Structure 1
Protein backbone atom coordinates (compact mmCIF):
# COMPACT_ATOMS: atom_id res chain seq x y z
CA UNK A 1 0.00 0.00 0.00
CA UNK A 2 1.25 3.49 -0.84
CA UNK A 3 2.16 5.83 2.00
CA UNK A 4 2.62 9.58 1.81
CA UNK A 5 3.98 12.40 3.94
CA UNK A 6 3.14 15.96 4.81
CA UNK A 7 5.99 17.96 6.29
CA UNK A 8 4.65 20.91 8.22
CA UNK A 9 6.45 23.89 9.75
CA UNK A 10 5.74 24.67 13.40
CA UNK A 11 7.13 27.90 14.87
CA UNK A 12 6.91 28.65 18.57
CA UNK A 13 4.09 26.14 18.89
CA UNK A 14 2.09 27.55 15.96
CA UNK A 15 1.36 25.22 13.04
CA UNK A 16 1.96 27.00 9.74
CA UNK A 17 -0.28 26.92 6.65
CA UNK A 18 -2.25 23.87 7.75
CA UNK A 19 -5.01 24.39 5.18
CA UNK A 20 -2.53 23.94 2.31
CA UNK A 21 -1.38 20.60 3.71
CA UNK A 22 -4.95 19.49 4.32
CA UNK A 23 -5.84 20.25 0.71
CA UNK A 24 -2.94 18.21 -0.64
CA UNK A 25 -3.66 15.29 1.67
CA UNK A 26 -7.34 15.32 0.67
CA UNK A 27 -6.38 15.32 -3.01
CA UNK A 28 -3.91 12.46 -2.52
CA UNK A 29 -6.32 10.25 -0.58
CA UNK A 30 -9.07 10.84 -3.13
CA UNK A 31 -6.73 9.86 -5.98
CA UNK A 32 -5.21 6.72 -4.46
CA UNK A 33 -7.95 5.43 -2.20
CA UNK A 34 -11.05 6.86 -3.91
CA UNK A 35 -12.19 8.21 -0.58
CA UNK A 36 -13.62 11.60 0.33
CA UNK A 37 -13.40 10.68 4.00
CA UNK A 38 -10.04 12.13 5.02
CA UNK A 39 -8.47 12.84 8.41
CA UNK A 40 -8.90 16.38 9.72
CA UNK A 41 -5.37 17.58 10.42
CA UNK A 42 -6.67 20.35 12.64
CA UNK A 43 -8.14 17.70 14.94
CA UNK A 44 -5.31 15.18 14.62
CA UNK A 45 -2.40 17.54 15.28
CA UNK A 46 -1.86 18.70 18.84
CA UNK A 47 1.55 20.25 19.40
CA UNK A 48 3.26 18.37 22.25
CA UNK A 49 5.00 20.26 25.06
CA UNK A 50 8.51 19.58 23.75
CA UNK A 51 7.61 21.09 20.36
CA UNK A 52 6.16 24.40 21.56
CA UNK A 53 9.39 26.36 21.40
CA UNK A 54 11.66 27.01 18.46
CA UNK A 55 11.31 25.75 14.93
CA UNK A 56 9.86 22.26 14.60
CA UNK A 57 9.29 19.93 11.66
CA UNK A 58 6.06 17.99 11.99
CA UNK A 59 6.07 14.90 9.78
CA UNK A 60 2.72 13.23 9.13
CA UNK A 61 2.77 9.77 7.50
CA UNK A 62 -0.54 8.64 6.04
CA UNK A 63 -2.35 6.36 3.63
CA UNK A 64 -6.15 6.43 3.86
CA UNK A 65 -5.62 7.51 7.48
CA UNK A 66 -2.85 9.07 9.57
CA UNK A 67 -0.32 6.41 10.55
CA UNK A 68 2.45 8.34 12.30
CA UNK A 69 3.20 11.85 13.54
CA UNK A 70 6.68 13.00 14.60
CA UNK A 71 7.88 16.36 15.90
CA UNK A 72 11.61 17.14 15.57
CA UNK A 73 13.72 20.32 15.79
CA UNK A 74 14.38 21.74 12.36
CA UNK A 75 17.70 23.06 11.11
CA UNK A 76 18.18 24.47 7.63
CA UNK A 77 20.65 22.35 5.71
CA UNK A 78 22.78 23.93 3.01
CA UNK A 79 24.26 21.49 0.50
CA UNK A 80 27.69 22.55 -0.72
CA UNK A 81 27.38 21.13 -4.23
CA UNK A 82 24.77 20.22 -6.83
CA UNK A 83 24.81 18.31 -10.11
CA UNK A 84 22.37 18.27 -12.99
CA UNK A 85 20.91 14.77 -13.22
CA UNK A 86 18.87 13.67 -16.23
CA UNK A 87 16.09 11.13 -15.67
CA UNK A 88 12.84 10.83 -17.60
CA UNK A 89 11.25 8.04 -15.58
CA UNK A 90 11.03 9.68 -12.16
CA UNK A 91 7.46 10.35 -11.02
CA UNK A 92 7.04 12.27 -7.77
CA UNK A 93 3.77 14.05 -8.49
CA UNK A 94 2.58 12.91 -5.05
CA UNK A 95 4.59 13.16 -1.83
CA UNK A 96 5.48 9.49 -1.32
CA UNK A 97 7.34 8.25 1.76
CA UNK A 98 9.51 6.13 -0.55
CA UNK A 99 12.32 8.50 -1.53
CA UNK A 100 15.00 5.89 -2.26
CA UNK A 101 15.40 7.05 -5.85
CA UNK A 102 16.61 10.47 -4.69
CA UNK A 103 19.29 8.94 -2.48
CA UNK A 104 20.43 6.77 -5.36
CA UNK A 105 20.65 9.70 -7.76
CA UNK A 106 22.62 11.79 -5.26
CA UNK A 107 25.00 8.89 -4.67
CA UNK A 108 25.58 8.51 -8.41
CA UNK A 109 26.14 12.25 -8.83
CA UNK A 110 28.67 12.35 -5.96
CA UNK A 111 27.40 15.76 -4.83
CA UNK A 112 25.47 16.90 -1.77
CA UNK A 113 22.28 17.39 -3.75
CA UNK A 114 20.97 17.29 -7.31
CA UNK A 115 18.95 19.32 -9.76
CA UNK A 116 16.71 16.95 -11.66
CA UNK A 117 16.22 17.36 -15.39
CA UNK A 118 13.20 15.49 -16.76
CA UNK A 119 12.33 15.38 -20.45
CA UNK A 120 14.75 18.24 -21.03
CA UNK A 121 13.29 20.56 -18.38
CA UNK A 122 14.67 21.68 -15.03
CA UNK A 123 12.36 20.41 -12.25
CA UNK A 124 13.35 20.29 -8.55
CA UNK A 125 16.15 19.41 -6.19
CA UNK A 126 15.88 16.20 -4.17
CA UNK A 127 13.87 17.86 -1.41
CA UNK A 128 12.80 21.32 -2.53
CA UNK A 129 11.45 23.44 -5.33
CA UNK A 130 13.97 25.66 -7.10
CA UNK A 131 14.20 29.40 -7.62
CA UNK A 132 16.66 31.14 -9.95
CA UNK A 133 17.37 34.88 -9.92
CA UNK A 134 17.80 37.19 -12.86
CA UNK A 135 17.57 41.01 -12.76
CA UNK A 136 16.07 40.86 -9.25
CA UNK A 137 13.31 38.51 -10.43
CA UNK A 138 13.03 35.05 -8.90
CA UNK A 139 11.88 32.41 -11.39
CA UNK A 140 10.68 28.91 -10.55
CA UNK A 141 10.68 26.13 -13.16
CA UNK A 142 7.30 25.57 -14.80
CA UNK A 143 7.80 21.79 -14.73
CA UNK A 144 8.36 20.81 -11.06
CA UNK A 145 8.23 17.18 -10.00
CA UNK A 146 6.00 18.25 -7.11
CA UNK A 147 4.39 21.71 -7.01
CA UNK A 148 4.99 22.49 -3.35
CA UNK A 149 2.75 24.43 -1.00
CA UNK A 150 5.32 27.21 -0.47
CA UNK A 151 5.83 27.51 -4.22
CA UNK A 152 2.08 27.85 -4.79
CA UNK A 153 1.73 30.60 -2.18
CA UNK A 154 4.68 32.58 -3.56
CA UNK A 155 3.30 32.34 -7.10
CA UNK A 156 -0.15 33.45 -5.98
CA UNK A 157 1.29 36.42 -4.13
CA UNK A 158 3.43 37.45 -7.11
CA UNK A 159 6.71 37.19 -5.19
CA UNK A 160 8.05 34.69 -7.73
CA UNK A 161 7.30 33.93 -11.37
CA UNK A 162 7.04 30.67 -13.30
CA UNK A 163 8.81 29.91 -16.56
CA UNK A 164 9.94 26.75 -18.40
CA UNK A 165 13.68 26.37 -17.84
CA UNK A 166 16.09 24.18 -19.79
CA UNK A 167 19.64 23.42 -18.65
CA UNK A 168 20.97 25.79 -21.32
CA UNK A 169 18.87 28.60 -19.80
CA UNK A 170 20.70 28.42 -16.48
CA UNK A 171 23.50 30.64 -17.83
CA UNK A 172 21.19 33.67 -17.60
CA UNK A 173 20.73 33.35 -13.82
CA UNK A 174 23.08 34.49 -11.05
CA UNK A 175 21.55 32.93 -7.90
CA UNK A 176 19.92 29.66 -6.85
CA UNK A 177 17.52 29.29 -3.91
CA UNK A 178 15.61 26.33 -2.43
CA UNK A 179 12.06 26.54 -1.05
CA UNK A 180 9.71 24.01 0.50
CA UNK A 181 7.07 23.86 3.23
CA UNK A 182 9.62 24.92 5.84
CA UNK A 183 11.84 27.11 3.66
CA UNK A 184 10.35 30.42 2.57
CA UNK A 185 12.01 33.35 0.79
CA UNK A 186 13.68 34.46 4.02
CA UNK A 187 14.90 31.07 5.23
CA UNK A 188 15.56 29.26 1.96
CA UNK A 189 19.30 28.70 1.47
CA UNK A 190 20.86 30.58 -1.44
CA UNK A 191 23.97 30.17 -3.58
CA UNK A 192 25.75 31.57 -6.60
CA UNK A 193 25.30 29.40 -9.68
CA UNK A 194 28.84 28.04 -9.54
CA UNK A 195 27.66 25.61 -6.84
CA UNK A 196 26.31 23.49 -9.73
CA UNK A 197 29.32 21.42 -10.71
CA UNK A 198 28.33 20.47 -14.28
CA UNK A 199 26.59 23.67 -15.29
Structure 2
Protein backbone atom coordinates (compact mmCIF):
# COMPACT_ATOMS: atom_id res chain seq x y z
CA UNK A 1 0.00 0.00 0.00
CA UNK A 2 1.40 3.39 -0.96
CA UNK A 3 0.68 6.66 0.80
CA UNK A 4 -2.49 8.29 -0.47
CA UNK A 5 -2.10 11.94 -1.49
CA UNK A 6 -4.79 14.47 -0.71
CA UNK A 7 -7.81 13.88 -2.96
CA UNK A 8 -10.93 15.93 -3.57
CA UNK A 9 -14.58 15.45 -4.46
CA UNK A 10 -16.85 18.35 -5.42
CA UNK A 11 -20.47 17.33 -5.00
CA UNK A 12 -23.51 19.28 -6.14
CA UNK A 13 -26.28 19.72 -3.59
CA UNK A 14 -29.70 21.10 -4.46
CA UNK A 15 -31.91 22.11 -1.53
CA UNK A 16 -29.90 19.93 0.84
CA UNK A 17 -29.75 16.80 -1.31
CA UNK A 18 -26.57 15.48 -3.02
CA UNK A 19 -26.60 14.59 -6.72
CA UNK A 20 -24.80 11.78 -8.59
CA UNK A 21 -23.55 10.32 -5.31
CA UNK A 22 -23.10 6.75 -6.67
CA UNK A 23 -20.78 8.10 -9.38
CA UNK A 24 -18.80 10.07 -6.81
CA UNK A 25 -18.52 6.90 -4.71
CA UNK A 26 -17.24 4.98 -7.74
CA UNK A 27 -14.54 7.61 -8.27
CA UNK A 28 -13.51 7.54 -4.61
CA UNK A 29 -13.25 3.74 -4.76
CA UNK A 30 -11.32 3.83 -8.04
CA UNK A 31 -8.94 6.53 -6.80
CA UNK A 32 -8.12 4.77 -3.54
CA UNK A 33 -7.71 1.44 -5.34
CA UNK A 34 -4.78 2.96 -7.24
CA UNK A 35 -3.01 3.26 -3.88
CA UNK A 36 -4.00 -0.21 -2.72
CA UNK A 37 -6.69 1.06 -0.34
CA UNK A 38 -10.17 -0.39 0.02
CA UNK A 39 -12.19 2.36 1.72
CA UNK A 40 -13.77 1.52 5.05
CA UNK A 41 -16.16 4.45 4.70
CA UNK A 42 -19.01 5.36 2.37
CA UNK A 43 -19.70 8.82 1.05
CA UNK A 44 -23.41 8.62 1.82
CA UNK A 45 -22.74 7.71 5.47
CA UNK A 46 -20.06 10.36 5.97
CA UNK A 47 -22.16 13.10 4.37
CA UNK A 48 -25.19 12.08 6.42
CA UNK A 49 -23.05 12.59 9.53
CA UNK A 50 -21.82 15.96 8.22
CA UNK A 51 -24.91 17.33 6.45
CA UNK A 52 -25.34 20.45 4.40
CA UNK A 53 -26.48 23.25 6.74
CA UNK A 54 -30.22 23.84 6.55
CA UNK A 55 -29.51 27.54 6.01
CA UNK A 56 -27.92 26.74 2.63
CA UNK A 57 -30.64 26.16 0.06
CA UNK A 58 -30.51 26.20 -3.73
CA UNK A 59 -27.32 25.00 -5.44
CA UNK A 60 -24.51 24.34 -2.98
CA UNK A 61 -20.98 23.04 -3.55
CA UNK A 62 -19.82 20.36 -1.15
CA UNK A 63 -16.02 20.10 -1.06
CA UNK A 64 -14.71 16.90 0.50
CA UNK A 65 -11.00 16.37 1.14
CA UNK A 66 -9.85 12.83 1.81
CA UNK A 67 -6.96 10.40 1.70
CA UNK A 68 -7.52 6.86 2.96
CA UNK A 69 -10.16 8.42 5.23
CA UNK A 70 -12.39 11.49 4.89
CA UNK A 71 -10.62 14.50 6.37
CA UNK A 72 -12.69 17.63 5.90
CA UNK A 73 -15.96 18.69 4.33
CA UNK A 74 -17.26 22.17 3.60
CA UNK A 75 -20.37 23.65 2.03
CA UNK A 76 -20.75 26.95 0.19
CA UNK A 77 -23.25 28.52 -2.21
CA UNK A 78 -22.22 27.78 -5.79
CA UNK A 79 -21.57 30.66 -8.15
CA UNK A 80 -20.93 29.65 -11.74
CA UNK A 81 -17.99 31.34 -13.43
CA UNK A 82 -18.63 33.53 -16.45
CA UNK A 83 -16.79 32.06 -19.45
CA UNK A 84 -17.06 33.82 -22.80
CA UNK A 85 -13.82 32.84 -24.50
CA UNK A 86 -11.40 29.91 -24.58
CA UNK A 87 -7.77 29.39 -25.59
CA UNK A 88 -6.13 26.08 -26.48
CA UNK A 89 -2.93 25.36 -24.55
CA UNK A 90 -0.59 22.39 -24.96
CA UNK A 91 0.26 20.25 -21.94
CA UNK A 92 1.94 17.09 -23.24
CA UNK A 93 3.23 15.96 -19.83
CA UNK A 94 0.18 16.70 -17.69
CA UNK A 95 -1.36 13.86 -15.68
CA UNK A 96 -4.54 14.61 -13.72
CA UNK A 97 -6.39 11.31 -14.06
CA UNK A 98 -7.30 11.39 -10.36
CA UNK A 99 -8.94 14.36 -8.67
CA UNK A 100 -5.93 15.37 -6.62
CA UNK A 101 -6.37 18.38 -4.35
CA UNK A 102 -3.07 19.77 -5.65
CA UNK A 103 -4.14 21.72 -8.74
CA UNK A 104 -0.91 23.70 -9.20
CA UNK A 105 -0.25 22.29 -12.69
CA UNK A 106 -3.78 23.15 -13.83
CA UNK A 107 -3.50 26.62 -12.34
CA UNK A 108 -0.23 27.17 -14.21
CA UNK A 109 -1.98 26.27 -17.47
CA UNK A 110 -4.86 28.61 -16.67
CA UNK A 111 -2.35 31.43 -16.33
CA UNK A 112 -1.53 30.90 -20.03
CA UNK A 113 -5.04 31.95 -21.05
CA UNK A 114 -3.98 35.47 -22.03
CA UNK A 115 -7.08 37.56 -22.66
CA UNK A 116 -9.34 34.48 -22.77
CA UNK A 117 -11.44 33.43 -19.78
CA UNK A 118 -10.46 29.76 -19.73
CA UNK A 119 -8.18 27.22 -21.41
CA UNK A 120 -8.81 23.99 -23.30
CA UNK A 121 -5.94 21.59 -22.71
CA UNK A 122 -4.37 19.71 -25.62
CA UNK A 123 -2.43 16.49 -24.96
CA UNK A 124 0.75 15.12 -26.57
CA UNK A 125 -1.26 13.63 -29.44
CA UNK A 126 -2.83 16.96 -30.34
CA UNK A 127 -6.20 15.91 -28.93
CA UNK A 128 -8.53 18.08 -26.88
CA UNK A 129 -8.99 16.88 -23.28
CA UNK A 130 -10.58 19.22 -20.70
CA UNK A 131 -10.69 22.80 -19.55
CA UNK A 132 -8.85 23.60 -16.32
CA UNK A 133 -11.94 22.78 -14.25
CA UNK A 134 -14.47 21.02 -16.48
CA UNK A 135 -14.92 18.29 -19.00
CA UNK A 136 -15.86 19.51 -22.46
CA UNK A 137 -18.23 18.50 -25.24
CA UNK A 138 -18.38 19.63 -28.86
CA UNK A 139 -21.33 19.63 -31.24
CA UNK A 140 -21.19 18.31 -34.78
CA UNK A 141 -24.52 18.38 -36.58
CA UNK A 142 -27.11 17.46 -33.97
CA UNK A 143 -24.79 15.26 -31.88
CA UNK A 144 -22.52 16.10 -29.00
CA UNK A 145 -19.13 14.44 -28.53
CA UNK A 146 -16.74 14.45 -25.60
CA UNK A 147 -13.01 13.64 -25.70
CA UNK A 148 -12.49 9.89 -25.42
CA UNK A 149 -9.54 10.37 -23.06
CA UNK A 150 -10.13 13.38 -20.79
CA UNK A 151 -7.63 14.56 -18.21
CA UNK A 152 -10.14 13.59 -15.53
CA UNK A 153 -13.12 11.30 -16.04
CA UNK A 154 -15.76 13.51 -14.45
CA UNK A 155 -18.96 12.24 -12.87
CA UNK A 156 -21.21 14.51 -14.93
CA UNK A 157 -19.46 13.30 -18.09
CA UNK A 158 -19.98 9.67 -17.04
CA UNK A 159 -23.66 10.37 -16.33
CA UNK A 160 -24.21 12.05 -19.71
CA UNK A 161 -22.46 9.24 -21.59
CA UNK A 162 -24.64 6.69 -19.78
CA UNK A 163 -27.73 8.74 -20.68
CA UNK A 164 -26.74 8.86 -24.35
CA UNK A 165 -26.34 12.64 -24.38
CA UNK A 166 -22.59 12.50 -25.12
CA UNK A 167 -20.56 10.15 -27.30
CA UNK A 168 -16.82 9.74 -26.60
CA UNK A 169 -14.45 10.18 -29.53
CA UNK A 170 -10.99 11.58 -30.25
CA UNK A 171 -11.24 15.29 -31.09
CA UNK A 172 -8.01 16.63 -32.64
CA UNK A 173 -7.37 20.35 -32.29
CA UNK A 174 -6.60 20.33 -36.02
CA UNK A 175 -10.22 19.27 -36.70
CA UNK A 176 -11.87 21.82 -34.44
CA UNK A 177 -13.54 23.53 -37.40
CA UNK A 178 -15.70 20.41 -37.87
CA UNK A 179 -17.63 21.43 -34.72
CA UNK A 180 -19.79 24.50 -34.18
CA UNK A 181 -20.41 24.59 -30.40
CA UNK A 182 -18.38 23.75 -27.30
CA UNK A 183 -19.85 23.09 -23.87
CA UNK A 184 -18.27 22.98 -20.40
CA UNK A 185 -19.69 20.56 -17.84
CA UNK A 186 -18.76 19.29 -14.41
CA UNK A 187 -20.42 17.92 -11.28
CA UNK A 188 -21.66 21.41 -10.43
CA UNK A 189 -22.97 22.12 -13.93
CA UNK A 190 -25.41 19.53 -15.29
CA UNK A 191 -26.28 19.53 -18.97
CA UNK A 192 -29.19 21.95 -18.58
CA UNK A 193 -26.84 24.44 -16.89
CA UNK A 194 -23.80 23.97 -19.10
CA UNK A 195 -21.65 26.81 -20.34
CA UNK A 196 -21.95 26.79 -24.13
CA UNK A 197 -19.94 28.84 -26.62
CA UNK A 198 -19.58 29.13 -30.36
CA UNK A 199 -16.48 27.41 -31.72
CA UNK A 200 -14.14 29.94 -33.28
CA UNK A 201 -11.00 29.12 -35.18
Aligned to 1:100: 104
Distance in 2 (CA, whole Å) between partners of 1:81 and 1:138 is 19
Q: 1:132-171 alignment to 2 at 5 Å?
A: 132-171=138-177
Secondary structure of 1:21 counterpart: helix
Offset at residue 81 of structure 1 (A): 2.1
Distance in 2 (CA, whole Å) between partners of 1:165 and 1:37 is 35
Secondary structure of 2:112 counterpart: helix
Offset at residue 148 of structure 1 (A): 0.8
**Structure 1 segments of 4 or more deviating over 4 A?**
none
CA deviation vs aligned residue, 1:72-120 (integer Å, no higher than 9, x gap)? 0012212222111111110000000011112211212313211000011
Matched, 1:54 2:58: yes
TM-score by length of 1: 0.93
Secondary structure of 2:145 counterpart: strand
Matched, 1:9 2:15: no
Offset at residue 157 of structure 1 (A): 1.4
Q: 1:75-86 alignment to 2 at 5 Å?
A: 75-86=79-90
Secondary structure of 1:89 counterpart: coil
Aligned to 2:68: 64
Matched, 1:42 2:40: no
Counting matched residue pairs gives 193
Offset at residue 6 of structure 1 (A): 0.5
Aligned to 2:131: 125
Superposed CA RMSD in Å reads 1.2
Q: Unaligned 5+ residue runs, structure 2?
A: none
Secondary structure of 2:63 counterpart: strand
Any conservation in 1 of the 2:32–2:38 contact (CA below 8 Å)? yes
Offset at residue 175 of structure 1 (A): 0.7
Aligned to 1:113: 118
Distance in 2 (CA, whole Å) between partners of 1:164 and 1:16 is 28
Distance in 2 (CA, whole Å) between partners of 1:59 and 1:169 is 36
Offset at residue 2 of structure 1 (A): 1.0
